[in-house]
Structure 1
Amino acid sequence: MCSHYEAPTSDRLLAGYGVAPEGQYRLDLWPCYEGPFIRLRDPESIDEGDYELEAQVGQFGLLPFWAKARTLGRSTYNARTETVASKNSYRAAWKEARHCVIPAVAIYEPDWRSGKAVPTRISRKDGGVMSIAGLWERWKTPEGADLLSFTMLTVHAAEGLMCNFHREGDEKRSAVILPGGLVNDWLRAPASESMEFMRLYPSDRLKAEVPDSI
């Protein structure tokens, strides 16, 4: 499960997606921190000539309408695709196809093969930005303000690079990294087609390295 990742700069978002958020955000992200995500614009708000995508800043950790506090995000930053349709935290966003993409330069996972947790940086071999499939929500703060939030969707990683991480005996998981050609398809897909995108990204397109510092 991915709880730590690097977001791209605004310049990289513009280069890769054609949009970037107006607000500030962190590049080094953990649950309950605020980072960028990409979604479709509301059709009613699109003027002729506007780009269809929009970039927003939201909390990493989904907040359904019934959440009592932002701290719920500490347990809702990843959504298992096997149970996302039934889990109370995610089912509304899944049913309504509130699809988004969480852009990441790299994600971090602990490599336990040595017997100790070694933080490992996972990125694309070609240096490109990873487009992670996610869900977004809108939540009202106690002060009455709107707060956007998002979660990364994950799949079982029985083979390939991503099966090397986490403790022995724990289930191996991977965030759903979308091939570039499927980003727009995912964002436009109806709920009935959501599961078709839940696939493991090819390991030969990723690299893992131990960073000097995090």
Structure 2
Amino acid sequence: MCSHYESVRDRQILKRHFQLDDIPEGGKWDMWPGYLGPFIRRHEFADVGDDAVPEREVLLGSFGLIPHWATDTKIARQTYNARSETVAVKPSYRDAWKKAHHCIIPADAFYEPDWRSGKAIPTRISRADGEPMGIAGLWSWWKSPKGDVLHSYTMLTINADEHPLMKQFHKPTDEKRMVVILPENRYDEWLRATADQSAAFMELYPSEALQSSTSMPGNLRLF
């Protein structure tokens, strides 16, 4: 399961790759559950017929989905990944799944522990071509007792027991999992998809299109 990832550092690359007009200020680059980072959804007014409204918009949200019924934001520490096999029935995610609140989480890389040496070695996984990843996710919003609205998101995951790269990670006795990385030509399809169409996107990303290393990020900073 992915609890640590790098959001896209370069604002111009973020805008170019994901075809975004504006990017909000703030948010972190080195992401852990509960941190605020960017996520991309279909624009709230994309269907009004105004050519001035972009197809996509980027918002800041908590990494870890906070359902509307939560009493506080602590649940984000447990809801940063949603299993595709159970997302439709789990109380934390089922409303977002049913409403097809699809989003894309932009990432330069994500981290998983390699246990093959007998110790957990943090390993950085990125696209082999150096381009950002678009990770499939779900978003929601939560209103605090003071009336403030907070957006949040979770990454969707699938079984990766047979994936040539991802089966190397986590303990030998653990199920192997992988975040759902979307092909670039399906970004808009995912954002437009209905709940009934969502399962068709839950596919493993080709291992030959990924690379891994044990180097850790440096110069951690805000956007």
TM over 0.5: yes
- Structure 1 residue aligned with 2:93: 90
Q: Between the two proteins, what is the percent identity of the paired residues?
A: 52
Partner-residue secondary structure (3-state), 1:167: coil
TM-score (norm 1): 0.96
Q: 1: distance between equivalents of 2:75 and 2:120? A: 26
- Structure 1 residue aligned with 2:221: none
- Structure 2 residue aligned with 1:15: 16
For the Cα contact (< 8 Å) 1:46–1:52, is it kept in 2? no
Moved over 4 A (4+): none
1:11 Cα deviation (Å)?
A: 1.8
Partner-residue secondary structure (3-state), 1:69: coil
Q: 2: distance between equivalents of 1:133 and 1:212? A: 24
Q: 1: distance between equivalents of 2:44 and 2:217? A: 40
Q: Which runs of 5+ in 2 are unaligned?
A: 219-223
- Structure 2 residue aligned with 1:77: 80
For the Cα contact (< 8 Å) 1:118–1:210, is it kept in 2? yes
- Structure 2 residue aligned with 1:115: 118
Quote the RMSD (CA, aligned, Å).
Answer: 1.3
Within a 5 Å distance, the mapping from 1:55-66 to structure 2 comes to 55-66=58-69
Matched, 1:146 2:123: no
- Structure 1 residue aligned with 2:4: 4
Change in 2 beyond 3 A, CA 1:46/1:34: farther
- Structure 1 residue aligned with 2:209: 205
- Structure 2 residue aligned with 1:32: 34
Q: 1: distance between equivalents of 2:13 and 2:149? A: 27
1:48 Cα deviation (Å)?
A: 2.4
- Structure 1 residue aligned with 2:186: 182
Q: 2: distance between equivalents of 1:184 and 1:71? A: 31
Q: 2: distance between equivalents of 1:162 and 1:143? A: 42
- Structure 2 residue aligned with 1:67: 70
For the Cα contact (< 8 Å) 2:15–2:23, is it kept in 1? no
- Structure 1 residue aligned with 2:176: 172
Change in 2 beyond 3 A, CA 1:180/1:61: same
Q: Which moved more, 1:38-47 or 1:169-178?
A: 38-47
For the Cα contact (< 8 Å) 1:21–1:57, is it kept in 2? no
Aligned length: 214
Equivalent residue letter for 1:161:
L
1:28 Cα deviation (Å)?
A: 0.3
1:49 Cα deviation (Å)?
A: 2.5
Q: Which runs of 5+ in 1 are unaligned?
A: none
For the Cα contact (< 8 Å) 1:99–1:135, is it kept in 2? yes
Partner-residue secondary structure (3-state), 2:145: coil
Q: 1:75-114 CA distances to partner (integer Å, 9 max, x unpaired)?
A: 0000000000000000000000000000000000000000
- Structure 2 residue aligned with 1:102: 105
1:168 Cα deviation (Å)?
A: 1.2
1:23 Cα deviation (Å)?
A: 2.5
- Structure 2 residue aligned with 1:162: 166
Q: 1:120-175 CA distances to partner (integer Å, 9 max, x unpaired)?
A: 00000000000000000010012211100000000000122111100110110000
Q: Which moved more, 1:13-22 or 1:185-194?
A: 13-22
1:68 Cα deviation (Å)?
A: 1.2
